[in-house]
A and B are shown apart, each in its own frame.
Chain A
Amino acid sequence: MAQTVLHTAASRGGADHGWLKSYHTFSFSSYFNPERIQFGALRVLNDDSVDGGMGFGEHPHDNMEIISLPLDGALQHKDSMGNIATIEPGEIQAMSAGTGIYHTEYNKDKSKPVKFLQIWVFPNKRNVDPRYDQKKIDAPGQPNQLVQILSPNQDDAGIWIHQDAWFNLGKLDENTAVEYSIHKKGNGAYIFVLEGKVTVNGQELDRRDGYGIWDTENFIIQANTNTEFLIMDVPMEF
């Protein structure tokens, strides 16, 4: 029987630094909740808003797969490997921090906030060579289909990371549904609602709610309104 966990939007940790407003699904920085550490290899799910022209100064990372998914606005990235890039909605960025990397992240637009998800996944190997990548997200082949945006495989759709993880974006019209099959035995799926309302496994979810499901092979996501959501399929043990 499927096991599940619900994290409502209102139950997330929060941080307001003035220029940065962030909601943490899992313990992060000064937000610590021992019951909210991770969902399998998914360790960080931050829902960030950075004021115009502001951003994160140079800071290090190591041994983590860091994925950024812009929702509104443009995020500028510079790193110690010489990468300078801007990502916008419709694109995804991944950084394997490995043995160590430094980077800055700024809102390129001075006039409005940039909103994005920052997602950290534990790597399946420590101390890999650092790498950076970004890609445009493919449009769905047909309406109301999922689009894969991340996988462990360099030759698969979307970006790749050092973990047996698959991410899919869904954009469904009201009263439609999709079935999702978990990619690998031992993985679970974490559904994060970006917009609208859905029902998964009998659980109604609102905007920015998160819902983890594991010990199952597949499940159905029913759109109760026009909706957008992210499915993160990750190892539960790693």
Chain B
Amino acid sequence: MAKKTEILVIGTNEQIRETVLRLLNTNPTWQATGVGTNEEAVAKCKETIYEVLLIGAGLTDELETQLTAKIKAIQPSIQIIPHYGGGSGLLFAEIYLALGTNNEA
């Protein structure tokens, strides 16, 4: 079985984060995991190689900047992108563009 594309999602609103994860995981080639804080994100990136970090709503500009620096230091090749919209509308296009492909199942 082919390795799934690992996607890490950070956002402080648990309900929106769960919605985003549910939508991402409808794609059988993706494996999305969610966290609510920078510390959790850093810990996850020390355990697993992610292709994409999707930054959802709720972090301050300062926290987003700090998170980007910390994650890039651990995983230099990760694609870090802000998420907009909070639901299905833009989500898939954001991931396809980050991966440079349309790997829709």
Give the interface of A toward B (CB within 8 A). Answer: 27-30, 32, 34, 37, 43-44, 59-64, 97-102, 120, 122, 126-127
Chain B residues with Cβ under 8 A from A60's Cβ?
13, 15-16, 19, 86-87
Q: Specify which chain A residues have a CB less than 8 angstroms from the CB of B104 in the assembled complex.
A: 30, 32
Count chain A CB atoms within 10 A of each CB in B59, B87, B89, B96 and give the residue with the most: B89
A selection of 28 A-B contacts at a CB cut-off of 8 Å is: A28-B89, A29-B89, A34-B102, A37-B93, A59-B87, A60-B13, A60-B86, A60-B87, A61-B85, A61-B87, A62-B13, A62-B16, A62-B85, A63-B82, A63-B83, A64-B84, A64-B85, A97-B85, A99-B57, A100-B13, A100-B16, A100-B57, A100-B86, A101-B86, A102-B15, A126-B82, A127-B59, A127-B60
A219 CA to B60 CA, complexed, in Å: 40
Identify the B interface with A (CB < 8 A): 11-13, 15-16, 19, 56-61, 64, 82-90, 92-93, 96-97, 102, 104
**What is the minimal beta-carbon distance from A5 to any residue of chain B, in angstroms?**
18
Most buried by A among B15, B60, B83, B90: B90
Complex formed: what's the CA distance from A184 to B13 in Å? 35
Complex Cα gap A162–B56 (Å):
18
Dominant secondary structure at the A interface = loop
Known: A100-B13, A120-B85. A32 touches B92 (CB 8 A): yes
* Contact across chains for A44 and B16 when beta carbons are under 8 A apart: no
Determine whether the beta carbon of A63 is less than 8 Å from that of B85. Answer: yes
Cβ-defined contact, A62 with B56, below 8 A: yes
* Chain A proximity of B98: nearest CB distance (Å): 12
- Chain A residue nearest to B11 in the complex (CB): A62
Judging by beta carbons under 8 Å apart, are B57 and A29 in contact?
A: no
Q: How far is the CA of A59 from the CA of B15 in the complex (A)?
A: 10
Question: Which one of B86, B88, B93 lies within 8 Å of A97 (CB-CB)?
Answer: B86
Contact B88 A29 (CB under 8 A): yes
CA distance A192 to B84 in the complex (A): 23
**Given A60-B19, A100-B57 in contact, is the A43-B86 Cβ separation under 8 Å?**
no
A148: min CB distance to chain B, Å: 25
